[in-house]
Homo-oligomer: A and B are copies of this chain.
C-alpha cells in the first residue's frame, strides 16, 4: 500500500524532498547546478541583474516565465542615491535567506513544525581597505554575526541541533566562510 498523502511541513513537501534525494542517489550527475546573474551597469553606482535561467537536474530550468530584475546601488555616503540595497547588504540577505531555508528544510525532515524563524545579520568592515587608504584592512567584512530566534514544537536541544545542521549544510554559509575561486575575464574596448 502506498501512502499518497502529500506531507507538507513548514511549507516543504517532504515527499518531494525524499524523492529528489533518491533521484540524486540513483543519478548523481543530476546534482550539478549552474546559477547565473547577467548584470548591466545603469549609471553611477547602480546596476541591474536579470536572473532567470539556470542549469540543474540535468537540464536548463524553464520554470520562470519572467526574469527577476534586481538592482544594487549605494547610499549617498558611498556616492549613490539609495536606488537599491548595496552589494554588501545583498551578501547578508543571501546568507540570511540561505540559513533560514536550510533550517526550515532540516526541521521538516526531522518532523519539527516551526512557528517563527527571525534573524539579524551584521557585517562589519573598515572602508580604509576598499578605498585603498590602508592595506592593513581587508576590503570585505572582517566578520559577520548572525543572531537567530527560532520557535517550534520541539525542545531547545532539538532546535539547536537543527541550527547546527543548517550551518553545516548551508550553501551561502560555506561561500562566505570559506574561499571560493573567482575567475574574472574581460572583453574590453
Asked if B28 and A134 sit within 8 Å, CB to CB, the answer is yes
Partner of A114, one of B41, B84, B125: B41
Q: List, in ascending order, chain B residues with CB within 8 A of A184's CB.
A: 99, 145-148, 163, 167
Complex-state Cα separation, A155 to B80, whole angstroms: 27
Asked if B37 and A92 sit within 8 Å, CB to CB, the answer is yes
Complex-state Cα separation, A31 to B153, whole angstroms: 44
Complex-state Cα separation, A61 to B86, whole angstroms: 13
Asked if A180 and B177 sit within 8 Å, CB to CB, the answer is yes
Complex-state Cα separation, A116 to B92, whole angstroms: 28
Asked if B51 and A171 sit within 8 Å, CB to CB, the answer is no
Q: List, in ascending order, chain B residues with CB within 8 A of A33's CB.
A: 88, 124-127
**CB of A41 to closest CB in B, whole Å:** 4
Main secondary structure of the interface of A (DSSP, over half): mixed
Known: A37-B89, A144-B180, A185-B148. A98 touches B75 (CB 8 A): no
Q: List, in ascending order, chain B residues with CB within 8 A of A176's CB.
A: 175-176, 180, 182
Q: List, in ascending order, chain B residues with CB within 8 A of A85's CB.
A: 51, 68, 70
Complex-state Cα separation, A117 to B124, whole angstroms: 28
**CB of A34 to closest CB in B, whole Å:** 5
**CB of A99 to closest CB in B, whole Å:** 7
Q: List, in ascending order, chain B residues with CB within 8 A of A99's CB.
A: 184
Q: List 25 A-B contacts (CB under 8 A).
A: A25-B133, A32-B126, A33-B126, A35-B88, A37-B120, A39-B96, A39-B121, A41-B103, A41-B117, A56-B78, A63-B76, A68-B89, A70-B90, A79-B105, A87-B98, A130-B171, A139-B169, A140-B171, A146-B182, A146-B185, A148-B186, A151-B189, A160-B186, A176-B176, A176-B180
Closest 3 A/B residue pairs (Cβ): A11-B44, A72-B97, A140-B174
